[in-house]
Amino acid sequence: MLVVAKAPRPGAVKTRLAADLGDVGAARVAAAALLDTLLVAGTVFAHRILALAGDLADTGVIDTSALRRTVANWQVISQSSGDLGHRLAQAHADAAALSPTAGGRARRILQIGMDTPQVSAGLLRDSADLLSGADVDAILGPAEDGGWWVCGTSAPAQAAALAAVPTSRCDTGELTLAALRAVGARVGQVGPLRDLDTLDDAKVIAAEHLGLYVSAELRSQGVG
């Protein structure tokens, strides 16, 4: 399991949400979303890597004590420089290099971000099972905004293909699928999820997933 995330520093995360909640409010939501993500992934996977941009000990007024306790159970690596596509590709490659082999082959990498705190353990297990299938080399799960929320790879060339895909566009998911297929990957697809990017996203997620830390944080800010 690979989670690619940013430390929740005000002004550096959830910038679209910050238009409604302010930089500090958005960063508090980001911290809660990352905590939910790490907790659910930690119930499913024994091999866990967090590719982190920034420092959880340097987030200004944001309390990251719960996050830091949870992250203690993860192997933390620093994200590389460059745009998001290059950082994703390098994170997959770094995780593959650090992961133990399984049955003599490199362990497959299942990657998510911090934008879908509502992801369930069952959906993560289903995604991992699909990636482990004999007739699947990579997987992709679309986000409702046109991006993607999960990407699984099994070879360095697949991870490298992510670097050339433009991100944060309504066709990012389609372009990622095409890039994986262009390097010969047989791509399995899983169901879509909604990214937590805007106030509308926040309202839906908080209303539909009451037990999450991120939902509690949103309610404390009058959202939900």
Structural domain spans, the chain: 2-220
Q: How many helices (H) and strands (E) does the chain have?
A: 8, 7
- The CATH topology of domain 2-220 is Spore Coat Polysaccharide Biosynthesis Protein SpsA; Chain A (3.90.550)
Confidence of residue 222 (pLDDT cuts 50, 70, 90): very high
Q: Which residues of 91-103 are buried (b: 16+ CB within 10 A; e: fewer)?
A: bbbbbbeebeeee
pLDDT tens per residue across span 137-157: 999 999 999 999 999 999 888
The pLDDT of 78-100, averaged and rounded, is 90
pTM equals 0.95
User: In this prediction, what percent of the chain has a pLDDT beyond 70?
Assistant: 97
Confidence of residue 24 (pLDDT cuts 50, 70, 90): very high
The pLDDT of 120-130, averaged and rounded, is 97
pLDDT at residue 100 above 70? no
Mean pLDDT score of the chain: 94
The pLDDT of 25-51, averaged and rounded, is 97
CA 197 vs CA 23, 38, 169: distances in Å: 13, 18, 13
Confidence of residue 176 (pLDDT cuts 50, 70, 90): very high
HSE-up of residue 34 (Cα within 13 Å, Cβ side): 32
Confidence of residue 107 (pLDDT cuts 50, 70, 90): confident
3-state secondary structure of 31: helix
3-state secondary structure of 168: coil
Beta bridge partners of 152: 110, 139
Beta bridge partners of 109: 153
Distance between the two ends of the chain, CA-based, in angstroms?
A: 30
Beta bridge partners of 76: 50
